[in-house]
């Protein structure tokens, strides 16, 4: 039997850069940042100054009872998945939905629901909580809501490996299709933890960038000498993955092929990144794709803009690509760090060259740090036609996930 | 507006029910409202009227008319009715 290859047939996004793929790609091409000052209602006393906060109106997407039963993270997930399904033109009514799965990723799950419950218990000494608290806060709620909404009864998995969660969901979703366990999968991830308590916890890590005094939108500066840490974001991204021959047989839009998935653990430290672990994940993804480093025409870096992390990743990229002048950018400079949703949103960004012929840049990279020497994309580069692209996701806990995708022939 | 009318109005808003089709005596299943969602609705009703329905009473409420009776009794007990 010929190997089952995996096509991307639809993408959907919810981000501070827009809530559709065209809006998202337009913002990336223009190097427009969605990062801004956080209002007092969100930041409260946490001390966190900036974030990629989405102007989200649940009423625009859900009836009141449905919205009330969905944490913000699940609302993001459903809207992104709906876009991806629509783009894929998948005829769910006539599809065998026991062959369609959901592979989702999130770091914190229903953070807002959890925080509201704690406020009630500890803030008001009221122990009578909303009956839906558990099913709204649980980590698998976003993915399960996607399965329920569209009746997707195939394999289901939810990954929570911090910043690699949704990249892992895409990789494992690809595996499920390769292994013949599913013919299609909604794969992606979501995060919505811009809440006072969560922000306070992140602030305590001392890894968040303060607001850029001149321009808050420029607070996240990956690879720059003045980089001062990451900026948290929120949102979701979903990909429809399908077995290629079935997708082509139904005339689906084949946007790309996912051909490589590397997964390694540093097993060294909970928060400090490790070059060797990253190198192993990149090597594994390349080996599976059957591509040489020279075939990769764009790398969407993890690039969080932390002082240590960017240096280690650039060392790992140089170790893999050596003398090859592979263009690298971190789009987190614009959409912020979506944590559990980052891998999926950045996979959407990494596929941009295939759709638009444009390499998305690292915004606000005025003075690259010598320790971060790679071939930086500092402005959108048009006319790029890479054969293949790579997306890196490296997480607290030492989880490294690397995905390789190829242009659909 | 009487208590039942206010509860009905809230049900239209929070449970997306069609006002003309709300039968106060109908069991929740018939209204296509699951039990957890209904408890959430009762919390909203409590906020609206400024009363509390005890956990013991919660278990006895099977329809909107039951809810109205409990709210009315609570309002009376609190001297609000």
The string of DSSP letters for A292-331 reads -GGGEEEEE------HHHHHHHHHHHHHHHTT---EEE-T
DSSP state, A241?
E
The whole-angstrom distance between B14's CA and the closest CA on chain A is 5
Indicate yes or no: CB of B55 within 8 angstroms of CB of A128: yes
Indicate yes or no: CB of A65 within 8 angstroms of CB of B39: no
Indicate yes or no: CB of A68 within 8 angstroms of CB of B40: yes
pLDDT at A240: 98
pLDDT, tens digit, for every residue of A90-132? Answer: 999 999 999 999 999 999 999 999 999 999 999 999 999 999 9
CA torsion angle for A213, A219, A223, A224 (degrees, to 10)?
-10
Nearest to A65 among B15, B43, B55 (CB): B15
DSSP state, A195?
S
Task: Map tokens 């609206």 to a residue.
Answer: B48
Q: Domain residues of chain B, as ranges?
A: 3-77
Do A169 and A237 contact (CB within 8 A), yes or no?
A: no
Question: Rounded to whole angstroms, what are the CA distances from A28 to A110, A288, A334?
Answer: 28, 29, 7
pLDDT at A409: 78
Residues in chain A closer than 8 A to B16 (CB atoms): 63-66
Adjacent-strand bridge partners of A392: A402
What are B74's two structure tokens? 């609570």
Question: Rounded to whole angstroms, what are the CA distances from A199 to A55, A70, A112, A140, A344?
Answer: 18, 21, 11, 22, 22
- The residues, any chain, with a CB within 8 Å of residue A253's CB and separated by 6 or more, are A9, A10, A87, A88, A89
Best mutation target, B36, B38, B44, to test chain A (most A CBs within 10 A)? B36
Q: Is B80 helix (H, G, I), strand (E, B) or coil?
A: coil
Q: What is the mean pLDDT of residues A395-401?
A: 97
Q: What percent of chain A shows pLDDT beyond 70? A: 100
Q: What percent of chain A shows pLDDT beyond 90? A: 97
Out of A335, A337, A364, A376, the active site residue is A337
CATH superfamily of this structure's domain A6-249: Thiolase/Chalcone synthase (3.40.47.10)
ipTM above 0.90, yes or no: no
pLDDT band for A248, please (50, 70, 90 cuts): very high
**Residue ranges with strand state E in A182-317:** 184-191, 235-243, 256-265, 296-300
Indicate yes or no: CB of B40 within 8 angstroms of CB of A132: yes
pLDDT at A2: 66
Tell me, yes or no, if A163 is annotated catalytic.
Answer: yes
The reply to whether domains A6-249 and A262-406 share a CATH topology is yes
- The residues, any chain, with a CB within 8 Å of residue B31's CB and separated by 6 or more, are B15, B17, B22, B23, B64
Q: Domain residues of chain A, as ranges?
A: 6-249, 262-406
The whole-angstrom distance between A45's CA and the closest CA on chain B is 28
Do A331 and A349 contact (CB within 8 A), yes or no?
A: yes
The whole-angstrom distance between A130's CA and the closest CA on chain B is 6
Residues in chain A closer than 8 A to B14 (CB atoms): 64-65, 68
Question: Does A187 score more than 60 pLDDT?
Answer: yes
Do A258 and A241 contact (CB within 8 A), yes or no?
A: yes
pLDDT at A1: 52
Q: What is the mean pLDDT of residues A216-226?
A: 98
pLDDT at A152: 98
Question: Does A338 score more than 90 pLDDT?
Answer: yes
Please tell me the class of the B3-77 domain: mainly alpha
pLDDT at A334: 98
Q: Is B7 helix (H, G, I), strand (E, B) or coil?
A: helix
Mean pLDDT rounded to a whole number for chain A: 97
Adjacent-strand bridge partners of A100: A184
Element (H, E) at A361: none
Residues in chain A closer than 8 A to B39 (CB atoms): 131
Residues in chain B closer than 8 A to A132 (CB atoms): 36-37, 40
Question: Does B77 score more than 90 pLDDT?
Answer: no
The whole-angstrom distance between A131's CA and the closest CA on chain B is 6
Q: Which of A184, A180, A142 is nearest to A7 (CA)?
A: A184
pLDDT band for A377, please (50, 70, 90 cuts): very high
- Which of A135-149, A249-263, B1-15 is the least confident region? B1-15
Do A390 and A351 contact (CB within 8 A), yes or no?
A: no
pLDDT at A324: 76
Best mutation target, A67, A131, A135, A141, to test chain B (most B CBs within 10 A)? A131
Out of A220, A302, A364, A376, the active site residue is A302
Residues in chain B closer than 8 A to A131 (CB atoms): 36, 39-40
What are A216's two structure tokens? 């808050």
Using CA coordinates, name the residue in chain A closest to B54.
Answer: A128
Indicate yes or no: CB of B37 within 8 angstroms of CB of A63: no
Tell me, yes or no, if A337 is annotated catalytic.
Answer: yes
What are A109's two structure tokens? 């799950």
What are A245's two structure tokens? 């021959």
According to CATH, the topology of domain A262-406 is Peroxisomal Thiolase; Chain A, domain 1 (3.40.47)
Using CA coordinates, name the residue in chain A closest to B13.
Answer: A64
Buried-state track B1-30, b at ≥16 Cβ within 10 A, e below 16: eebbeebbebbeebbebeeeebeeeeebee
- Which of A58-67, A96-105, A255-264, A355-364 is the least confident region? A58-67
- The residues, any chain, with a CB within 8 Å of residue A66's CB and separated by 6 or more, are B16
Residues in chain B closer than 8 A to A66 (CB atoms): 16
Question: Does A210 score more than 60 pLDDT?
Answer: yes
Element (H, E) at A171: helix A165-178
The string of DSSP letters for B17-50 reads --GGG--TTS-GGGGT--HHHHHHHHHHHHHHHT
Question: Does B37 score more than 90 pLDDT?
Answer: no
What are A80's two structure tokens? 């992104």
pLDDT at B81: 63
């Amino acid at each position: 039997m010929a190997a089952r290859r995996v096509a991307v047939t639809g993408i959907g996004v919810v981000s501070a850069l827009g809530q559709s793929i065209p809006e998202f790609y337009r913002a990336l091409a223009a190097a427009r940042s969605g990062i801004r000052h956080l209002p007092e209602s969100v930041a409260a006393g946490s001390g966190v100054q900036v974030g990629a906060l989405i102007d989200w109106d649940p009423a625009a997407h859900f009836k009141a009872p449905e919205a009330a039963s969905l944490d913000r993270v699940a609302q993001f997930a459903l809207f992104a998945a709906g876009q991806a399904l629509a783009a894929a033109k998948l005829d769910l009514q006539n599809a065998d939905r026991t062959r369609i799965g959901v592979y989702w990723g999130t770091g914190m799950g229903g953070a807002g629901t959890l925080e509201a419950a704690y406020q009630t218990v500890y803030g008001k000494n009221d122990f009578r909580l909303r009956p839906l608290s558990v099913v709204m806060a649980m980590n698998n709620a976003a993915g399960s809501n996607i399965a329920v909404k569209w009746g997707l009864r195939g394999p289901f998995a939810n990954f929570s490996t911090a910043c690699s969660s949704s990249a892992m969901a895409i990789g494992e979703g690809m595996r499920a299709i390769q292994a013949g366990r599913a013919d299609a999968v909604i794969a992606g991830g979501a995060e919505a933890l811009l809440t006072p308590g969560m922000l306070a916890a992140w602030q305590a890590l001392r890894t968040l960038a303060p607001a850029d005094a001149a321009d808050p939108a420029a607070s996240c500066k990956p690879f720059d000498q003045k980089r001062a840490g990451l900026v948290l974001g929120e949102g979701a991204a979903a990909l429809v993955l399908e077995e290629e021959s079935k997708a082509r047989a139904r005339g689906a839009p084949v946007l790309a092929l996912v051909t490589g998935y590397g997964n390694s653990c540093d097993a060294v430290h909970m928060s400090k990144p490790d070059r060797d672990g990253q190198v192993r994940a990149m090597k594994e993804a390349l080996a599976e794709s059957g591509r040489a480093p020279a075939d990769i025409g764009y790398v969407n870096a993890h690039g969080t803009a932390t002082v240590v992390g960017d240096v280690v990743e650039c060392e790992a990229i140089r170790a893999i690509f050596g003398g090859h002048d592979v263009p690298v950018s971190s789009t987190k400079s614009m959409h912020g760090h979506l944590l559990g949703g980052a891998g999926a949103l950045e996979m959407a960004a990494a596929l941009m060259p295939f759709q638009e012929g444009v390499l998305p840049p690292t915004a606000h990279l005025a003075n690259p740090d010598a320790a971060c020497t790679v071939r930086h994309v500092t402005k959108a580069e048009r006319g790029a036609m890479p054969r293949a692209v790579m997306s890196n996701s490296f997480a607290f806990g030492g989880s490294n996930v690397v995905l390789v995708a190829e242009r659909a022939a | 507006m009487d208590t039942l009318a206010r509860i009905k109005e809230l049900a239209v808003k929070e449970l997306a029910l069609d006002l003309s089709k709300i039968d106060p005596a109908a069991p929740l299943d018939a209204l296509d409202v699951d039990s957890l969602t209904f408890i959430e609705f009762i919390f909203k009703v409590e906020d609206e009227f400024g009363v509390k329905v005890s956990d013991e009473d919660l278990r006895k409420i099977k329809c909107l008319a039951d809810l109205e009776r409990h709210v009315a009794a609570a309002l009376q007990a609190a001297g609000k009715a």
